[in-house]
Homo-oligomer: A and B are copies of this chain.
Amino acid sequence: MTPTNTTNTNRTSIEDTLIMIPGPVPVVPRILRAMAKPVINHRGSEFAELFNECRGLFADMFRTKNDILLLSGSGTSGMEAAVGNLINPDDTIATLVNGKFGERFRDLGRLYGNTVPIESEWGYPLDLDAAAAALEDGADAIAMVHNETSVGMLNSAEEVGKLARKHDALFIMDGITSIGGTEVFVDRWGADIAILGSQKCIGAPPGFAAVSVSERAFEKMKEVKKPPYYLDLKAHKKSADKGQTPYTPSIPLFYAVQEALLIAHEEGLSARMKRHASGATAVRAAAGAMGIEMFPQPDGLSRYSDTVTAMKVPHGIAFDRMKQEMLDCGILIAGGQAHLKGNVFRIGSMGNFKAKDILITIQMLESILHKHGVVSEFGAGTEAAASVLMG
């Protein structure tokens, strides 16, 4: 058979592809190697040591004195653990939605209790007035996504936390794609449960979630009659006090997460935050120079995400072609989700990426856009990105 699509035949092997999507992110060799350690007895003291080291390092990263529990499941399992352990069938949870992951809280709220969905248009700020009204009406809890990757926006967790405190409601914060890459202050913001996913800012492989749980949340759990079983946080807490998990943990992922946390610790949290902010700022600067519009519309309280940049697909090129040509050159970028498919594209600046990863992504994008006549002169985007990254 004669190949009809020459781009496909030149395609770089998937294992050599630079993944610039908002998670799963590329995993550095040091973390990959950590997973190759032998499987140990998960009821022994060696596992307890590994387990407790991870919990301590997470507590620093979450800026919390709360208990940290570790789940062998994706970030979604952490979201379900939060809602399922805090919400009784008669309870009401206000769920703030301005993108795909906010919708997940809305659906989880419906499953475990009653949801008051507070929906903004995707990419627009959360409706804090409506949130205040729902709490005023007696909502028992409020849930939000801190960094909404589907639209590239960092929502104001601090303001939502203040509202929750004022109305004595529980506050659930999805920090899956913010914690470890963007400043998060779990205790200062009063998040009763905050959630992190392994394959995002800490740069480990997927399949692991960490949740911080406040005393207030543990108190409420005593009254919750039908929490999920595998994700029962009371059972996790009871085992964690002995340095264990209630069910067999995914040991290789614990090794990977330990190594990822050590890497973050060595880099320093503040340097890590700066690196993430610089990556996203560089992408935005390049987009501006190339005449590409941002998708989200942050106000003063929300802002552009530090870990993923969502842009409108420019006129003159279809997203599928742009994505395929990037991939042919060995770089994977992300499209829009749900109704944003085809209209939005996203570039991650998440995990253990380096300045060179951002720069080559921009350079390649600019080359392709230039080839297709979308950008009239090559160089402005790349230069703008470089000046941020090297500045």
B14 touches A46 (CB 8 A): yes
Interface residues contributed by chain A, number (CB under 8 Å):
54
Query: Is chain A's binding surface mostly helix, strand, loop or mixed?
Result: loop
Query: Does A298 have its Cβ within 8 Å of any Cβ on chain B?
Result: no
Give the chain B neighbours of A228 by CB distance below 8 A: 80, 228-230
Docked complex: A246-291 residues within 8 A CB-CB of B: 247-253, 256
- A21 and B44 alpha carbons, distance in the complex (Å): 12
Q: Interface 1/0s, chain A 214-256, versus B by CB < 8 A? A: 0000000000001011110000000000000001111111001
Smallest Cβ-Cβ distance to A332: which chain B residue: B41
Docked complex: A159-214 residues within 8 A CB-CB of B: 197, 199, 205-208
Query: Does A66 have its Cβ within 8 Å of any Cβ on chain B?
Result: no
Q: From known contacts A15-B37, A35-B32, A37-B15, infer whether A252 and B251 are also in contact, taking CB-CB under 8 Å.
A: no
Give the chain B neighbours of A252 by CB distance below 8 A: 35, 205, 207, 252-253, 256
Q: From known contacts A35-B32, A35-B35, A35-B36, infer whether A207 and B76 are also in contact, taking CB-CB under 8 Å.
A: no
Give 8 A-B pairs besides A77-B230, A253-B253 with Cβ atoms closer than 8 angstroms: A14-B40, A24-B251, A26-B38, A76-B229, A76-B230, A80-B230, A111-B226, A111-B229
- 28 intermolecular pairs with C-beta atoms under 8 Å apart: A14-B44, A14-B46, A15-B37, A24-B39, A24-B41, A26-B38, A29-B36, A32-B37, A35-B35, A35-B36, A39-B199, A42-B206, A72-B73, A73-B73, A74-B248, A74-B250, A75-B247, A76-B248, A77-B230, A80-B230, A84-B229, A107-B229, A111-B229, A205-B250, A206-B248, A206-B249, A207-B252, A230-B231
